[in-house]
Amino acid sequence: MPALRPYHRDLSYSYAPGFFPCMEALKKRPDSVSRVLVHSKAESSDILPELLALCRERSIRVETADRALARISQKDNVFAAAVFAKQEHPLQKDSNHLVLYHPGDKGNLGTILRTALGFQFLNMAVILPAADLHDPQVVRASMGALFSMRVQSFTCFEDYHAAYPEHALYPFMLQASIPLDEAAANAVSPFALIMGNEGAGLPAEYLTLGQPVRIPHNPAIDSLNLAVAASIGMYAFSKKHNI
Amino acid sequence: MPALRPYHRDLSYSYAPGFFPCMEALKKRPDSVSRVLVHSKAESSDILPELLALCRERSIRVETADRALARISQKDNVFAAAVFAKQEHPLQKDSNHLVLYHPGDKGNLGTILRTALGFQFLNMAVILPAADLHDPQVVRASMGALFSMRVQSFTCFEDYHAAYPEHALYPFMLQASIPLDEAAANAVSPFALIMGNEGAGLPAEYLTLGQPVRIPHNPAIDSLNLAVAASIGMYAFSKKHNI
């Protein structure tokens, strides 16, 4: 077995730190997990027997690796981590999509993955450049939701649109004219909700794309936080694909 | 002038780090600002002239204080900070309230403050113990929204309820029976949306309080992130007090 390296974007594998994300990897994407690291202090954990049973069932190697865990987690309190191969999954053509354009913040990415799973948006496109979706910090913030999602990256929006030309497009923009409720009430599946970057939003030309949507809010704030805006958008549109 | 200390919860003052939060403090709560710290490298900033003009207008002392800023911000890139007196503001009896029960995460608090201002929930109660609302990290994450809000702390929920007995109560709980849309459609102002702690939510006995609300989501996730749940709740109920 090759030695495990501290996480870096260029590695072909990543780490799912924490018991819960680790269990999600084992349950939802067992084929991607090459081994599981456990801390020597994890013995007292209630969840450990379940974790070990899952690994046994799937013939996944378990190692006690205190130092590797400390290196990976950059915190002291991670007692388990799954080592998993990074994968991309082509999106389902008939499902509704969430499209993130140049998302820059790892915490936002994790929160958005968790909410997307909650509102049954199981297909997510990421338009590059973007924060690293497989970063252990994102996996952890997502509570392992990453392993239940199909995620595909594109070098530009045009490539996404060419691959999924049937989707009705809903770019979320401060300058858009259609209020969220109205857009959501009239939406016909399959559709794609498109969210811009944290600082810059979507480029102005997206105003001519599909049906631009606005989340009505008090002008006292410049904009909503990206994870908040994406969550409200998915909540409103989720009524179209019964949860 | 006494020397400025690194931030601590027990201090009677705090810091609003960053140009934008600093400007918000000067515009919305000038009486609370005792001085403004500016970095020697801030001269190149476009916003500096406006900041200095505001300080002059309100006779607020400006100091070049590179080392104090570095100490306060724990980051290198904070070029301005307002020193402000911590204040609490009794809530408005006729306005709708957001009530946070034992919120534990500073990032969530900041995001919730920003969203609350965006959805015109200008009155927020915090039930202690709670993360420190005046922590510079919260002020920064709120983008200075704190200075547009009335926030009041209570040692227990009963004290809040005794002070504002007229508010219809909507505790947000995973086990609640009324879906969010239905609750929001039928709400009559003034009302209070009550959100539990990140890990534990609200205690089970809140199920007998007012009209418990559920945000429908896929059982594949345990719960939504607190800032996400609070934001979706405020969005849905904000239609009752036109933005």
pLDDT digits (tens, 9 = 90+) for A213-222: 999 999 999 9
Considering the domain A97-240 in this protein, what is its CATH number?
3.40.1280.10
Contacting residues of B for A232, CB less than 8 Å apart: 231-232, 235
Model confidence over B146-172: pLDDT tens digits?
Answer: 999 999 999 999 999 999 999 999 999
Where are the alpha helices (H) located in A94-171, listed in sequence order? 106-118, 136-141, 157-163
From CA A128, how far away is CA A122, in angstroms rounded? 19
Do A225 and B145 lie within an 8 Å CB cutoff?
Answer: no
Tell me the Cα Rg of chain B. Answer: 19
Which residues of chain B form CATH 3.40.1280.10? 97-241
CB burial readout B76-112, b (16+ within 10 A) else e: eebbbbbbbeeeeeebeeebbbbbbbbbebbbbbbbb
Q: Do A143 and B221 touch (CB under 8 A)?
A: yes
Among the partner residues B120, B218, B243, nearest to A119 by beta-carbon distance: B218
Q: How many CB atoms lie within 10 A of CB B1?
A: 8
Other C-beta atoms closer than 10 Å to the C-beta of A83 total 24
CATH architecture, domain B97-241: 3-Layer(aba) Sandwich (3.40)
CB A140 within 8 A of CB A147: no
Distance CA A183, CA A176 (A): 11
Q: Does residue A74 carry a pLDDT above 80? A: no
Verify whether the Cβ–Cβ distance A220 to B143 is below 8 Å.
no
Q: Report, as ranges of residue numbers, the positions in chain B whose pLDDT lies below 50.
A: none
**Pairing status of strand A168-171 against strand A191-195:** parallel
* pLDDT mean over A25-35: 97
Is the CB of residue B84 less than 8 Å from the CB of residue B21?
no
Could you tell me the maximum CA-CA distance found in chain A, to the nearest angstrom?
A: 58
Q: What is the pLDDT of residue B160?
A: 98
Return the residue of B nearest to A219 by Cα: B118
ipTM, two decimals = 0.94
Using a CB-CB distance cutoff of 8 angstroms, which residues of chain A are in contact with residue B198? Answer: none
Mean pLDDT on A147-152: 98
Please tell me the predicted confidence (pLDDT) of residue A70.
87
Nearest chain B Cα distance for residue A162, angstroms: 30
Please check whether residue B119 is in contact with residue A222, taking contact to mean a CB–CB distance below 8 angstroms: no
Contact A220 B115 (CB under 8 A): no
**Contacts with A111 from chain B: Cβ below 8 Å:** 225, 227-228
Q: If we measure between CA atoms, which residue out of A210, A217, A158 comes closest to residue A186?
A: A210
A118 → chain B, closest CA residue: B218
At residue A57, what are phi and psi to the nearest 5 degrees?
A: -55, -40
State whether residue B119 sits within 8 Å of chain A by CB: yes
Residues of chain A with CATH 3.40.1280.10: 97-240
Question: Are the C-beta atoms of A111 and A225 separated by less than 8 Å?
Answer: no
What's the count of helices (H) and strands (E) in chain A, helices before strands? 8, 11
B145–A221 CB contact, under 8 Å: yes
Nearest to A99 by CA among A176, A156, A25: A156
B116 vs B131: CA distance, rounded Å: 17
Q: Does B174 touch chain A (CB under 8 A)?
A: no
What residues are paired with A68 via a beta bridge?
Answer: none
Tens-place pLDDT, residues B95-137: 999 999 999 999 999 999 999 999 999 999 999 999 999 999 9
B13-85, what's its fold?
60s Ribosomal Protein L30; Chain: A; (3.30.1330)
Among the partner-chain residues A220, A228, A238, the one whose CB lies closest to the CB of B231 is: A228
CA distance B219 to chain A (A): 7
Q: Does A14 touch chain B (CB under 8 A)?
A: no
Q: Note whether A243 contacts B217, CB cutoff 8 Å.
A: yes
Contact A128, A136 (CB under 8 A): no
Q: Which residues of B touch A114 (CB under 8 A)?
A: 221, 224-225
Q: Please give the Cα distance from B113 to B97 (Å, whole number).
A: 12
Give ∠ CA A62-A58-A33 in degrees, rounded to 5: 60
Indicate yes or no: CB of B145 within 8 angstroms of CB of A119: no
- Shortest distance between the Cα of B239 and any Cα of chain A, in A, equals 10
Contacts of A96 (CB under 8 A, 6+ apart): A121, A123, A167, A189, A190, A191, A192, A193, A237, A240, A241
Write out the H or E segment, with its range, that includes residue A48: helix A48-57
Q: State which amino acid sits at residue B29.
A: R
Please determine, for residue A242, whether its predicted confidence score (pLDDT) is greater than 80: no
State CA A1 to chain mean position distance. Answer: 29
pLDDT above 90: residue A2: no
Kindly report, as residue ranges, where domains of CATH 3.30.1330.30 are found in chain A.
13-85
Query: Can you tell me the mean pLDDT for A171-190?
Result: 96
